[in-house]
Amino acid sequence: LTMNDQNNIKVVAIEEEMQSAYLDYAMSVIVARALPDVRDGLKPVHRRIIFAMNEAGNQYSKPFRKSARVVGEVMGKYHPHGDAAIYETMVRLAQWFSMRIPLVEGQGNFGSMDGDMAAAARYTEARLSKISESLVTDIDYDTVNFVPNYDNSLKEPSVLPARFPNLLVNGSNGIAVGMATYIPTHNLGEVIDACCAVLDNPEITLDDLINKYIHGPDFPPGGIILGIDGIKKAFKTGAGAVLVRSQTQIVNNGRHDSILVTEIPYQVNKSRLVERIAELVKDKTIEDISDIRDESNKDGVRLVIELKKGAIGEVVLNQLFKYTQLQVNISYNMLALVKNKPLRLSLREIIDNFLEFRKDVITRRCKYLLNQNKSKAHVLIGFCIA
């Protein structure tokens, strides 16, 4: 039973009510929470953080500000959700091992590859990174639509006028209702070159884009991608998988071999990886390892796996690839919002949608500036007459 405006009782079938209510919830999660927009590559919470920081003058050229202040600004004006969720999102935007090009510059403890949490928001400081300026450039020139915020007291942009294809560069992952997205990170230079190639030659084939420009994903921690079939399938269909292997080297110190790991796959927890190797040694699944040390520092990853005398490094390395996350499958599922509809997109479709968006932004900017100059010209003509 539900109550209508006249306080009369209205009988509603529970099946219909559950169906419509859940459908509304599902669409809200899909459109306004979990999936990125193909144009700026951002989910609403990311967009609101960047916009709020820019509006507050928290740019890369200005001093750092307390993260708690940024979180309060975002939560109070644009994103009425938990402060912990907003802060965690901002922290991820600042992590070099999560973002191909971090959109936020952090000062203080912003977590690590070992899964360590960031320090509390009252201790850390943040500001927009330099490249984030490219996401908000020309936003004051009527280049994008603004919509009311949650309490209709302010306006917020429905999309940022991004000057580079952030969706491909920084990737995205999210779980909606009945669908999910996972887009790995790609190299900024390669993606820009591919966009320019499409502008110069709209008839360019996907194979040419792959062979000459975007050769595959480019992960922040590094790693080696095995084979190109998975990449080609993912770029053509929007779904596929690539096999990523750690960067390793077998060294001999005269007595025995050691395996040196200098890069690990994307989003692999380094401390759990070390624990997993130790478990395999303890369970005697791998018997030729005598010691493992994590010598990582601010300059990069360095895991040293000491082998027993007489052990063959290549054999142990293959066992590690088989049983641990030194080698992982990373899946592509390039789902994004196109005109508020979730669509699985190929590489070319993402580039085409971005370029169409940029044309629209530049056209709107030119119209705005033209109107501004016309109004100034009107006044100047009046002065001339006077």
Catalytic residue positions, numbered: 123
Quick count: other Cβ atoms within 10 Å of Cβ 103?
Answer: 24
Tell me how far apart the alpha carbons of residues 280 and 326 are, in angstroms, rounded to a whole number: 13
Tell me how far apart the alpha carbons of residues 37 and 32 are, in angstroms, rounded to a whole number: 10
Give me the long-range contacts of 364-372 (CB less than 8 A, separation at least 24).
364/141, 364/142, 364/143, 364/144, 365/138, 365/141, 365/142, 365/143, 367/142, 368/141, 368/142, 368/143, 369/141
Where would I find the H helices in 64-187?
67-77, 83-94, 133-136, 166-170
Tell me how far apart the alpha carbons of residues 196 and 192 are, in angstroms, rounded to a whole number: 6
Minimal CA–CA distance to 100: which of 181, 8, 191, 194? 191
DSSP 117: P
Tell me how far apart the alpha carbons of residues 36 and 132 are, in angstroms, rounded to a whole number: 17
Residues listed for the chain: 386
Tell me how far apart the alpha carbons of residues 234 and 41 are, in angstroms, rounded to a whole number: 18
Q: What are φ and ψ of residue 339, in 5° steps?
A: 55, 45
Tell me how far apart the alpha carbons of residues 35 and 172 are, in angstroms, rounded to a whole number: 8
Residue with the two structure tokens 């190299």: 187
